[in-house]
Amino acid sequence: MQVIRTVEAMRAWSLQSKRSGRRVGFVPTMGCLHEGHLSLVQLARRTADLVVVSIFVNPTQFLPGEDFEKYPRDPERDEALCRGAGVDVLFYPETGAMYAGDHSVFVDEQRLSSGLCGASRPGHFRGVLTVVAKLFNCVQPDVAVFGQKDVQQARLISRMVRDLDFPVEMVVGPIVREPDGLAMSSRNQYLAPAERQDALCLRRALDRVEDLFAGGEREVERLLAAMMEVFRAIPSARVDYAEIVDDVTLEPLQKLDRRCLVVLAVWVGKTRLLDNTLLTP
């Protein structure tokens, strides 16, 4: 495995790969890798000849007061995991290499980004799209793999790929869960033991909705009420949002007459957790 630390070296590698006609798969991450990330690497391997993983904790997607400083970093472990997963290139740029002091160009989305995490974290997706555009231009992948856990992010990046004509195929990998059902996330590390237990309320709320839906319930109000009941039982849990939205537009649905997403963002103590599930009528 090659570790590349500069934009120039990454670009030179990409140009050579293009010339050799080999298909490059790309998994952008913020490091602190877990099995969720590694499942995306496996997906990339399945469709590409070479796999690049980037690790970059991107400052522009954190809001002031968020956890940029304390976001978990473990470069040695990450490198070992990538080696073990058969990654060909680990792209590991420094912050200074990615953002000039007078950086002033951003990529912004104006519809899908207005609700959900976009409403709670204004500016977050502008940072995400900007850094993904930069990474796409550095790596020039043929296919890029993102996780369904951050579903709004995945939808927004697909929209960016379409609207800015990036020559990149998008693949979204399913959520990987701990044995007890908690969706894997680097931020799970923040949870104290009691909170770790409380955090199962997200999966429980989704289970509840899935059960009701399987039993024929189609009233959005009743499904949302059933989820809120689950959260009310957990004092450490504070719902940021719990919605049922169109799978494509991410707009709240009145009627469950098409594929939709149940999307959750819930604070457990000081940790904000995401989860979601797809309902297909």
* Contact between 144 and its own copies per CB under 8 A: no
Residue from 96, 167, 215, 235 binding its own copies (CB under 8 A): 167
Which of the following is catalytic: 34, 37, 103, 124? 37
- What DSSP string describes 188-211? GGG--HHHHHHTTHHHHHHHHHHH
> Is 129 exposed, middle or buried (CB count within 10 Å of its CB: 0-12, 13-18, 19+)?
buried
Of 143 and 201, the one with the shorter C-beta distance to its own copies is 143
Report the 10 Å Cβ neighbour count for 73. Answer: 13
Give, as ranges, the residues between 9 and 68 that touch its own copies (CB under 8 A): 11, 14-15, 18-19, 21
Task: Give Cα 7 to chain centroid, integer Å.
Answer: 23
Q: Which stretch binds its own copies (CB under 8 A): 128-136, 176-184, 194-202, 210-218?
A: 128-136
Residue from 29, 39, 54, 130 binding its own copies (CB under 8 A): 130
Could you tell me the smallest distance in angstroms from the CB atom of residue 164 to its own copies? 5
Q: Please count the residues of the chain.
A: 281
Contact (CB, 8 A) for 27 and 37: yes
Verify whether residue 34 is a known catalytic residue: no
* Contact between 160 and its own copies per CB under 8 A: yes
Give, as ranges, the residues between 86 and 115 that touch its own copies (CB under 8 A): 100, 102-112
Give the span between the Cα atoms of 117 and 267, in whole angstroms.
12
Residue from 164, 194, 233, 278 binding its own copies (CB under 8 A): 164
Give the span between the Cα atoms of 134 and 127, in whole angstroms.
11
Could you tell me the smallest distance in angstroms from the CB atom of residue 244 to its own copies? 21
Please list the active-site residues: 37
